[in-house]
Amino acid sequence: MLAREDHDALLRIVGPAGLLLEPADRLPYETAARYGVGSAAAVVRPVDTAQVSAVLRHCVRRRLQFTPQSGNTGLVLGSIPDTSGTQIVISLDRLRTTPHVNGADRTVRVAAGVRLSALNAALEPHNLFLPIDVSSDPMIGGMVATNTGGARFLRYGDMRRHVLALEVVLPDEAGTVLQLSNGLRKDNAHLDLRQLFIGSCGAFGIITSATLEVHPRPQRSAVALLVPRDEDAVLDLLNAFEVRAGEYLTAFEGMSEAAMRHAFAHVRTLRNPFLDGLPPYAILVELSSSAAQRSGEPTLDQILENVVTELAERQAAPLSDVRFGPPERFWALRHSLSEGLRAAGPVLGFDLSFRRSEVMLFRRVAIAQLATIFPEYEVCDFGHIGDGGVHFNLMQRAPAHPNAARVKALRDHLLDLAIRDFGASFSGEHGIGRANQEAYDHYTPASIQSYSAAIAAVFARMPAAAVRFGPQRSVGESDDD
């Protein structure tokens, strides 16, 4: 509960529409995208950078705990308060000024509270788009704070690749506002501090706006679902498409039979292209181009079919089956995987990142071990094979209330296998948050934790010993995409 002094001060800053105190009004901001509910003392919704600065200034001076929240689509409990009822949620959902598009520079300045769909709608008349593809609809501030990757990372890279400038508010007693760069693509005139804020999960400050590089919208695309001969053939297929399709290759997304099955069971509008039964594993491959078709040039469909034909005719062919179809139909399946799993029951999710040469080897080892040690769980994985990212999701085969001790043993076993045996990251895209804090404390070297806390302390202008790098100010935006 807010003290009267804090209530009055925050009300003066953001006005009645910007201060939510009633439980029903707070609930959407206290509820995580997948599982988990916290309890906030209040939800504060500033409308511009000046109000964000004033709110932070008050919270820091009064030593009030706060949690920044962007679109609240994250899966690591980084954007909701804990259950103490003492934290203030600082929501960015009213920072939604119209994006400023510069077609000549191919850039856009966008407020942190603008959602990805709204940004792309503003870019469409300019024939531009931000090519970060995730199945949720996050806000731009959270996408920068967690360095979102997504399904087209293979071609376009992550948010870090696109951020040209940032405006951030520091968690110090002055609520200092920093303008980090001015939108240049090349600038070595000073230390590039914006890089510290991209992917920092909000630990160093609150991002209020960003200037992004954007891309010409694709004019053509072709998509197929590939069925590899076996797990060992997946990397061969990826390498072949990178060589044969070159710069046209946009996405190379793996999907397990179990993940597809749950999607088809839940999303009734999906059409199953595998009428004779789902394969154990399928890969969505996409070719795209922003250039118009030239006379005499092969179409992307032809290029895709030529590569597939060549692979199928090889001795010991790495490809056992293929389905061609409309891009929107196959992408609908890919984007429905998370929704299908959520509808099927509680998901124990792991956002892992590997060297891409080891993705399928880990998958084979992990599935074999889980079948022996934790047979009650089914692996429903999918992910970005082209960049080594895997959403290794597990679900109980029979409906049952999860046993907390059993879940912890399973999580510890799988993380040890991935991190110690395969050199993986326990958070490829989703940030830290409370859900990953134990893994961060356990697997991150003490020296790295110490330096991270020291950097956070610089921006907060506090002694390093008083700062813990972790979810206290994390945004946790990326979806399980």
pLDDT at 466: 52
Dig out the tokens for 256 from the structure. 């397990």
Question: What is the Cα–Cα distance from 431 to 436, expressed in whole angstroms?
Answer: 8
- Which amino acid, residue 170? L
Terminal Cα distance for the chain, rounded: 36
Q: Please give the full DSSP string across 12-35, using - where no structure is assigned.
A: HHH-GGGEE-SHHHHHHHHB-SSS
Per-residue pLDDT of the chain (481 residues; tens, 9 = 90+): 899 999 999 999 999 999 999 999 999 999 988 778 999 999 999 999 999 999 999 999 999 999 999 998 887 878 899 999 999 999 999 999 999 999 999 999 999 999 999 999 999 999 999 999 988 899 999 999 999 998 999 999 999 999 999 999 999 999 999 999 989 999 999 899 999 999 998 889 999 999 999 999 999 999 999 999 999 999 999 999 999 999 999 999 999 999 999 999 999 899 999 989 999 999 999 999 999 888 888 999 999 999 999 999 888 899 999 999 999 999 999 999 999 998 888 899 999 999 999 999 999 999 999 999 999 999 999 999 999 999 999 999 987 788 899 999 999 999 999 999 999 999 988 888 888 899 999 999 999 999 998 988 888 876 555 555 554 443 334 444 5
Q: What is the dihedral of CA 156, 161, 163, 164, to 10 degrees?
A: -110
Q: Please give the full DSSP string across 307-335, using - where no structure is assigned.
A: HHHHHHHSTT-SEEEEEEE-HHHHHHHHH
Coil vs helix vs strand at 243: helix
Coil vs helix vs strand at 374: coil
pLDDT at 398: 84
- Domains (ranges, CATH) in the chain? 4-91 (3.30.43.10), 100-216 (3.30.465.10), 220-337 (3.30.70.2190), 345-435 (3.30.70.2740)
Phi then psi dihedrals of residue 37, to 5 deg: -135, 130
CA atoms within 13 A on the CB side of 19: 16
pLDDT at 475: 37
Coil vs helix vs strand at 213: strand
Angle value at C-alpha 137, between 144 and 117, nearest 5 degrees: 90
Sequence length of the chain is: 481
pTM of the model: 0.91
Bridge partner list, 341: none
Dig out the tokens for 223 from the structure. 């998509």
pLDDT at 467: 53
Angle value at C-alpha 409, between 408 and 411, nearest 5 degrees: 60
